[in-house]
């Protein structure tokens, strides 16, 4: 549930008809549900045409209630269903036309006979892994492109076959970056950097995993997730900083 962007109830903020809010307020609102969302992410979604905030005469972005809810829907589709932006855009366009859309759901739904109010018909939860054809359909690429990604080590099938959720996410991002002309050979450096970061996290967590105390071993998993999140945030901040220096 998105909170009122002004922090209050009733009047004010994006919850009021006709009231527009800044990108900073939108960020604060969305971070209740999406802690890792950033201003650069919102700007990227705008650049992709997925949201169209109004602009003041001086060029500042102003977002309506509908804009904020649309952003939240986009972020949920990415987080919960691993959909690439191309598919998300198609889903949103279909909803705007009043059509029902079908997407896989992470949990079971459907305690009513009629269609849900949001126009989304949620299907049976997907398996832990998806097959090759399912991945191609979800990401919107062909077999040749997938084979090229694999040849550069950007993704691979899990042992026993199939692609797990993380790999589906990677595939979607590789596809999105490809639209900007970034080819698999350009992304190998990102893959290598990610593996080095993962190695550092594993070094920190390894002693906890070897501990005799079961609670300490369980704490290792939480520590690993926290370190991974911090690593992602640092990586993003470093990229933004480097780009800022180059653009000045």
β-strands 61-62, 54-55: how paired? antiparallel
Of the pLDDT bands very low, low, confident and very high (cuts 50, 70, 90), residue 145 is very high
Of the pLDDT bands very low, low, confident and very high (cuts 50, 70, 90), residue 29 is very high
Q: Would you state the pLDDT for residue 3?
A: 52
| Structure token pair of residue 31 | 């971070």
Please give the radius of gyration of the chain, using alpha carbons only, rounded to the nearest integer: 20
Q: Would you state the pLDDT for residue 128?
A: 56
Q: Would you state the pLDDT for residue 108?
A: 38
pTM over 0.85: no
Average pLDDT value for residue range 72-81: 85
Residues 207-245 pLDDT 10s: 888 888 878 877 888 888 888 888 888 888 888 888 876
Average pLDDT value for residue range 139-164: 90
Q: Quick check: 175 and 139 in contact, CB under 8 A?
A: yes
pLDDT at 106 over 70: no
pLDDT at 62 over 90: yes
Q: How many CB atoms lie within 10 A of CB 217?
A: 13
Q: Would you state the pLDDT for residue 143?
A: 93
Q: Would you state the pLDDT for residue 1?
A: 52
Q: Quick check: 51 and 74 in contact, CB under 8 A?
A: yes
Average pLDDT value for residue range 119-128: 45
∠ CA 49-120-44, nearest 5°, is: 20
pLDDT at 131 over 80: yes
Residues 163-217 pLDDT 10s: 888 888 888 889 889 988 999 999 999 999 889 999 998 998 888 888 888 788 7
Q: Quick check: 169 and 82 in contact, CB under 8 A?
A: yes
Phi, psi of 164 (to 5 degrees): -85, 175
pLDDT at 17 over 50: no
Mean pLDDT, the chain, rounded, equals 79
- Burial string for 185-194 (b: 16+ CB within 10 Å, else e) reads eebeeebeee
Q: Would you state the pLDDT for residue 247?
A: 60
Which one-letter DSSP state was computed for residue 104?
E
Q: Would you state the pLDDT for residue 140?
A: 83
What percentage of the chain reaches a pLDDT higher than 70? 79
Average pLDDT value for residue range 32-52: 85
């Amino acid at each position: 549930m998105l909170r009122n962007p002004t922090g209050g109830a009733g009047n004010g903020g994006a919850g009021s008809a006709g009231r527009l809010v800044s990108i900073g307020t939108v960020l604060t609102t969305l971070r209740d549900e999406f802690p890792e969302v950033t201003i650069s992410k919102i700007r990227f979604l705008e650049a992709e045409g997925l949201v169209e905030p109004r602009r003041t005469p001086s060029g500042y972005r102003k977002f309506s209630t509908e804009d904020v809810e649309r952003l939240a829907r986009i972020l949920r589709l990415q987080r919960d269903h691993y959909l690439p932006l191309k598919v998300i855009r198609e889903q949103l366009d279909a909803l705007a036309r009043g059509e029902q859309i079908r997407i896989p759901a992470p949990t079971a739904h459907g305690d009513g006979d009629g269609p849900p109010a949001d126009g989304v018909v949620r299907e049976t939860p997907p398996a832990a892994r998806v097959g090759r054809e399912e991945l191609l359909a979800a990401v919107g690429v062909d077999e040749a492109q997938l084979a090229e990604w694999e040849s550069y080590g950007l993704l691979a099938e899990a042992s026993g076959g199939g692609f797990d959720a993380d790999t589906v996410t990677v595939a979607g991002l590789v596809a999105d970056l490809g639209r900007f002309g970034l080819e698999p050979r350009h992304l190998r450096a990102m893959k290598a950097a990610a593996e080095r970061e993962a190695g550092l996290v594993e070094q920190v967590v390894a002693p906890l995993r070897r501990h005799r105390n079961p609670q300490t071993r369980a704490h290792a998993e939480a520590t690993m997730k926290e370190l991974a999140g911090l690593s992602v945030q640092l990586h993003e901040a470093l990229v933004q900083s480097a780009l800022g220096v180059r653009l000045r």
